[in-house]
Structure 1
Amino acid sequence: MTNPAIEAFVQEANDILETLEDQLLELEGSSDPAQVDAVFRALHTIKGSGSMFGFTRLSQFTHHFETAFDLIREGKLAIDGKLIDLSLKARDTMRRFVDLGGDNAEADQLSEAAEVKNLVAALQSLTNVTSAPETTEEGASQAGAASEIAVFDIWFKPAADDLRNGLRPDLLLGELEDLGDVTHRLDLTAVPSLEKLEPLQCYAAWAVTLTGATTEEAIKDVFIFADDSELEITKHEPPVAASEPELTTKTVAADKGKSNKTTAPIRVDSGRLDEVMDRLGELVIAQARLNQVTTRLADPMLEAVTEDIERLLTGLRDTTLSIRMMPIETVFGKFRRVVRDLSAELNKDIKLVTKGGETEIDKNVIDKLSEPLVHMIRNAIDHGVETREGRIEANKPEHGTVILSANQEGGEVLISLEDDGRGLNTEAIRARAIERGLLDANATPTEQELHQFIFAPGFSTAKELTSISGRGVGMDAVKTTVDSLRGNFKVHSQPGQGTKVTLHLPVSLAIIDGMLVRLGSDVFVIPLSAVQECVELDTLETNRESGRSMLRIRETLVPFLDLVDVFNYPESKDTRRRVVIVRAGNAPLGLIVDDILGQNQTVIKALSVYHRDVEGFAGATILGDGTVALIIDTAIMIRRALQQAKAQEAPSKYVAAGGH
């Protein structure tokens, strides 16, 4: 059985390492003492708690990393590009030790690996400082204070659940011994009588006297992972003058945590959140059925209860959805390292700018975004941004810029990646599309239509195959992921100015607002976020434009699909039919239905394994009367309309690349 305490440590360590990468990248452009302290505390936490939970190899490796930042804190080591490179590699190695799950044969093997030994040797060569650089008066006084012998009285009492959660006081005492001479006494005065004793609860405390050339902050760092424990430190300056007061610091978790108890984060497995969402979906469906029963019975008392339940359920829905929402910065932060490494590999000076990181989106969407965004960034840096020489020749700044931004518009989150590079080469795209048989040589697609070919499977204009690009799988992966998230994208590019790719994604994948439409006796759902307007069919003019079926709406021609034909229904007998105008990106499309029934809060259910390959549907939902309604995938409908329209055009041959 897996130890819950070790699982908690692994999760905590991974969180610290995620933050550590950002902190190291921040230090590359500055030497902020507060940031240096934050890095040191992170390393000290992992080193100490790693030893406590059986990750000795991790702790031993981290010690070398920690030593370097201890020297930086003391002003004996400067931060430069070489140190940041080594630190990032060391951070990656720490992640590998954590992933191995503790001391085992694999951890021993990794510790003895040549790359790890070389990294340790490089860190040691940096930390063997023979002379310290000049320091400020404040730094000199701090260094002098740290070297003075002092006596510290330490009283430490673990929280009641600490031992059960894996805390090892013996290891903490061992760390104190590294700081100086230690004597300690076990305090058992809080142990209750036998009938009141809880076997799994900690009642012991330790009284410790430490003598050495250390500081109060260094002692606190030993207990940094035991942040729920009671800690009292009293410092004596030897010899203690009678006129000098003692310097005392007391940290008691019971007092410290009073204001934070209601806001302290709790780790919850994402699977449990998914289960909560499923139950909430069932509640939404049941509430819709209750509404129908209430309307049919017309009982005032039942109506009042139903309104209360609906109000409470709406609040519960909003709260539950907010729990699943995460700031997109959690994804954006990962790409600073990607840009840094690619810039070095390609010998390009590129700066990543992020905007709108506070924009929130469903965690399930975030989990699927990392890979497509990495492909987009790699494409922008490799194909888009010029070399330093090329930028100078084009009268641009030597350093290129990649902007990653996010903002919310209604029920959608828009994520844009923009570079200031050379822009898309439409002629090269056209030539490659003709070469692969995707475009007839005599066809005249628009620039926007040509841009969509970059998302076709295996499509690439790269002349050489490199470790970064050339196989044509990157942007195809972007399209596949965006389609699976019920999103779409659009591309805007200007020669010599750069390219901007914008992803349109739903805020949530669980519950959406939908429009109910009818075909014959069956009901379908169209996502409300895709609906632009609804109009009467008999008031519109339908005609054929270049062989295409079009609707004239306010002097604008809009292609349309009759869903009766799409889904092979019998010819409609309704005399007054409706048109729902939907949009994906810049492409509008009219969907002709028999009737519009109104709006509905739609709980999305995935189709079964036997029906997932049925094209045109994003899922299904259960209506208030218990019937099942299929959710129409508007992006696929628009793609189908474009394919039909191009197939009807003569004499040109044109096969759409699948973009929206």
Structure 2
Amino acid sequence: MSDAFAQAFKDEARELLADLEEALLEMEENPADLGLVGRVFRTMHTIKGSGAMFGFDDIASFTHNVETVYDLVRNGELAVSKQLVNLSLAARDRILAMLEAAESGQPADAQRNEEVIRGFKSLVPGRAGDAPEPDRKVAPEEAAPAAPMVTYRIRFKPEGGIFASGVNPLSLLRELQELGPCRIVANTCEMQTLDALDPELCYLYWDVILSTSAGRDAIDDVFIFVVDCCELTVTVVDDGTDEAAGGYKKLGEILIERGDLTPQQMDELLGKQKKFGELALEAGLVNAATLTSALVEQQHVKEMRQERQSQAQTQEAASSIRVSADKLDLLVNLVGELVTVQARLSLVAQELKRHSELVSVAEEVERLTNDLRDNALDIRMLPIGATFSKFKRLVRDLSAELGKEIELTTEGAETELDKTVIEKLNDPLVHIIRNSIDHGVETPEARMAKGKPRSGKIHLAAVHSGDSVLITIRDDGAGLNVDAIRAKAIERKIIPQGADLSDREIWQLIFAPGFSTAAKVTSVSGRGVGMDVVKQAIEGLRGSIDVKSEPDRGTCITLKIPLTLAIIESLLVQIGKDRFVMPLAMVDECILLTEKEIEQGHGRDLLLVREQLVPYVPLRKMFRIQGKAPAIQQVVICQLEGKRVGLVVDWVIGEHQTVIKSLGRMYQQVEGMSGATILGDGSVALILDIPAIFKAAEKEP
């Protein structure tokens, strides 16, 4: 078995398992929706068939037992119950475990697999131990009408070297036969003589006439792993709408549709007295296999029209291509280099303005580079909904473990973020949601005592905001206890005894290392590890966290995350001869700072801006940059955790498109710097880590 094809199956199976989990959780909420049951069945069927094809026999055998039960559910012989959903989620986890075991080389837990299979078998009517939960049955009027029977013409022509990839075409044909009445004709016209035949090559191709109620998707699933190494055409030849008497198409029409005969050739034959098929064969225009295939189609459609039950539904598969994430990362890196070179070209063109043609070329290159940059970044953008859907299982299982009733709702699942950002967001969101379940939402009894609904809610939402995304996690629980947080912070010496803090400042204390108000340590929380990790992770993404809470009404945590970590819009500033950039998303405004205003501060770094005092940090002093500051400096005012703070620089140069470069190992721990970028003139500018700069400034006496 080719490692590449085996890996393709594993990747595809993981995507199918993610979709399966989402479908099962939706099915638990809507047990009467047979569309969801069909979705689960098709996913299981695809995993089974593909697993058998690529040598994952344990997965195929295991999934077959699950598929059998869901076939009964599809036919209305078994009701959707909580027990069925629990077993199905466990089966999904076991399939994933078998995939991981195949990668690690360690055997999967066969005993646990057998337990799950026994659970499914106990649900099948007539078996010992059959005791399904008394959940609602599917009423006859709720059962879906008989699925439509559609007839397809399929030409499957594999590449000659398909055997080398470990694919057996016969297994694919058997899969098709499972979908419904099927007739298969093998075409041997390309077969070689024995002395020229290579036993490692495939010389056959097949014409298949298939009538199925499973739809086009089921056919595509059969060929999902070989679509790139074969010629595959799937055509609806009878969709159930043509009920005209007189039967199916003429034989000549079928041969022309297939491309095996031209209209001119047909016209020449029609003038003769013999049957059309005999004439075409005698004239050498078609071979016996081609003629047989057309006759089989004609007969098959005639028979299926007599037995048709309802209208067809077909759906064309979306055109897509799977690309390695490493290749995408390389593409974005190259685009970043191109952006740097383009900036240099524009700078040279401006210096040589007398060469108007050069300026024109530079402007055109800039336009094309911007388009290429936007498209390259768009390729890496993924909807955050895939991450959101993972948390439904987390909320379901953890709330059951803690004896709570909690519903997770989501909004903005289509909001897109860079793939790398989404991957790094998973753990922080898990910590926040677990805290909401454990500390936020009360038990059903406590909620009812407060006059609240028995079931609590956690709402997860995402929305674009400029070049950032706002992700909110809101619960309707007890809210944050300001007094308890203050007392615990004083006890742990995080704040002094008499500290005068606003509610917003107290809420931010939950992100302090080692902070926890839990009365006891549990498997979920209480060790003070989690929220500080969340803050570090979000700041590592150049994001910010805001907390709002109301007693007995709940807590809302808002994460502000940049869309991408590769190229950002920034503000270019200068101090002495050194230039720096800061993320433009954090910048509110720029104002002038005169020597007189500095003196009015009486030694304190405070500036009065529209009747509001704004603290600022003189970067020249912090970075120990030699030389005298200009008489009029500039203050870049930024938003940081809901506060307005300023950074003092010599000059603000303007907006800049920054390609982020990592600092070398020797400089990664330098406080206040998060990276570097190369400017158009080839010099290096450091990227300021604004939250770290203000943390360092607060520590200074």
Matched with 1:253 is none
Change in Cα spacing, 1:352 to 1:201, as seen in structure 2 (3 Å) is farther
8 Å CA contact retained: 1:558, 1:588: yes
Q: Does 2:234 correspond to 1:225? A: no
Shift of 1:353: 1.0
Aligned-partner Cα distance in 2 for 1:220–1:588: 55
CA spacing shift, 1:60–1:294, aligned 2, 3 Å: same
Q: 1:141 and 1:538, CA in 2 relative to 1: closer, same or farther beyond 3 A?
A: closer
Q: Does 1:120 align with 2:121?
A: no
Aligned partner of 1:605 among 646, 661, 665? 661
Change in 2 beyond 3 A, CA 1:199/1:628: farther
Paired position in structure 2 for 1:54: 55
What one-letter code is carried by the residue in structure 1 that aligns with 2:505?
Answer: E
Amino acid at match of 1:289: R
Closer, same or farther in 2 for the Cα pair 1:608/1:199, shift >3 Å? Answer: farther
1:584-633 Cα deviation digits (max 9, x unpaired): 23121111111111111110001111111111011100000100000001
Q: 1:548 Cα deviation (Å)? A: 4.6
Instruction: Verify: 1:264 aligned to 2:319, yes or no.
Output: yes
Pick from 133, 136, 142: which aligns with 2:140?
136
Match of 2:641 among 585, 589, 604: 585
> Residue in 1 aligned with 2:10?
10
Amino acid at match of 1:246: E
- 2:533 aligned with 1:529: no
Q: CA deviation at 1:106?
A: 3.2
Residue 243 of structure 2 aligns with which residue?
none
The two structures, once aligned, show a CA RMSD in angstroms of: 3.7
Q: Does 1:479 align with 2:483?
A: no
Q: Deviations over 1:499-535 (max 9, x none)?
A: 1111111111111111111111111111111111111
**Residue ranges of structure 2 left out of the alignment (5+ in a row):** 239-246, 248-298, 307-312
Summarize the alignment of residues 215-254 of structure 1 with structure 2, pairs less than 5 Å apart. Answer: 217=214, 221=218, 224-226=221-223, 228=227, 229-230=232-233, 245-247=302-304
Cα displacement (A) at 1:216: 5.5
Alpha-carbon contact 1:353-1:403 (below 8 Å) kept: yes
Other-structure match for 2:686: 630
Corresponding residue of 1:436? 492
Where 2:556 maps in the other structure, the secondary structure is strand
In structure 2, the partner of 1:339 is 395
Tell me the secondary structure at the aligned position of residue 189 of structure 2. Answer: coil
Taking structure 1 as the reference length, what is the TM-score of the superposition? 0.85
Distance 2:558 2:521 in 1: 27
Aligned to 1:43: 44
Equivalent residue for 1:296? 351
Matches within 5 A, 1:183-194: 186-191=186-191
Amino acid paired to 1:447: D
1:658 is matched with none
User: Which residue of 2 is the match for residue 451 of structure 1?
Assistant: 507
Residues 623 and 80 (structure 1 numbering): CA distance in 2 closer, same or farther, change over 3 Å? same
Using the TM superposition, name which of 444-453 and 609-618 deviates more: 444-453
Offset at residue 571 of structure 1 (A): 4.6
Q: Determine if the alignment matches structure 1 residue 281 to structure 2 residue 331.
A: no
Equivalences for residues 201-212 of structure 1 within 5 A: 202-206=202-206
Is this contact kept in 1: 2:216–2:316, CA < 8 A? no
**Alpha-carbon distance between aligned partners in 1 of 2:358 and 2:197, rounded to the nearest angstrom:** 53
Residues 1:491 and 1:140: Cα distance change in structure 2 (over 3 Å): closer
Q: Which residue of 2 aligns with 1:504?
A: 560
Taking the aligned partners of 1:219 and 1:521, their CA distance within structure 2 comes to 66
Question: Given the alignment of the two structures, is residue 385 of structure 1 paired with residue 441 of structure 2, yes or no?
Answer: yes
Where does residue 614 of structure 1 map in the other structure?
670
Counterparts of 2:357 and 2:217, CA distance in 1: 62
Q: Distance in 2 between the 1:341 and 1:414 partners?
A: 27
Q: Residue 431 of structure 2 corresponds to which residue in structure 1?
A: 375
State the Cα distance separating 1:290 from its structure 2 match: 0.6
Partner SS for 2:376? helix
CA apart distance, 1:80: 1.2
> Given the superposition, is the C-alpha separation of residues 153 and 586 from structure 1 closer, same or farther in structure 2, using an over 3 Å criterion?
closer
| Counterpart-to-counterpart distance in 2, 1:358 and 1:348 | 29
Give the SS at the match of 2:636: strand
Give 1:198 shift.
Answer: 11
Aligned residue in 1 for 2:156? 157
What residue in structure 2 maps to residue 493 of structure 1?
549
**C-alpha displacement of 1:13:** 0.7
Contact 2:581–2:687 (8 Å) recurs in 1: yes
What CA distance in whole angstroms lies between the structure 1 residues aligned with 2:474 and 2:216? 48
The offset of 1:172, in angstroms, is: 3.5
**Counterpart of 1:100?**
101
Counterpart code for 2:303: E
Judge which range, 434-443 or 198-207, deviates more.
198-207
Kept after mapping to 2: 8 A contact 1:580/1:591: yes
SS of structure 2 residue aligned to 1:552: strand
Secondary structure at the counterpart of residue 72 of structure 2: helix
Kindly indicate whether the alpha-carbon contact (under 8 Å) linking 2:384 and 2:415 is maintained by their aligned counterparts in 1. Answer: yes
Letter in 1 for 2:80: I
Matched residue SS, 2:632: coil
- Is 1:564–1:571's contact at 8 Å kept on the other side of the alignment? no
Deviation of 1:304 (Å): 0.9
Alignment of 1:641-660 (within 5 A): 641-644=697-700
2:336 match: secondary structure = helix
- AA aligned to 1:295 is Q
The 1:196/1:478 distance shift into structure 2, 3 A limit, reads farther
User: How do residues 384-403 of structure 1 correspond to structure 2 at under 5 angstroms?
Assistant: 384-403=440-459
Question: Secondary structure of 1:541's partner?
Answer: helix
* Deviation by residue 1:273-305 (Cα, 9 ceiling, x = unmatched): 111111111111101111111111221011111
- Please identify the structure whose Cα radius of gyration is greater: 2
Task: Name the stretch that deviates more: 188-197 or 597-606.
Answer: 188-197
Q: How does 1:556-567 map to 2 (within 5 A)?
A: 556-567=612-623
- Distance change (3 Å), C-alpha of 1:259 and 1:560: same
Q: What CA distance in whole angstroms lies between the structure 1 residues aligned with 2:566 and 2:179?
A: 54
Corresponding position of 1:76: 77
Contact 2:172/2:223 (CA < 8 Å) preserved in 1? no
Preserved contact between residue 77 and residue 129 of structure 1 (Cα < 8 Å) = no
What amino acid maps onto 2:140 in structure 1? T
Q: 1:157 to 1:349 in 2, by over 3 A?
A: same
Work out whether 1:89 is the aligned partner of 2:93. Answer: no
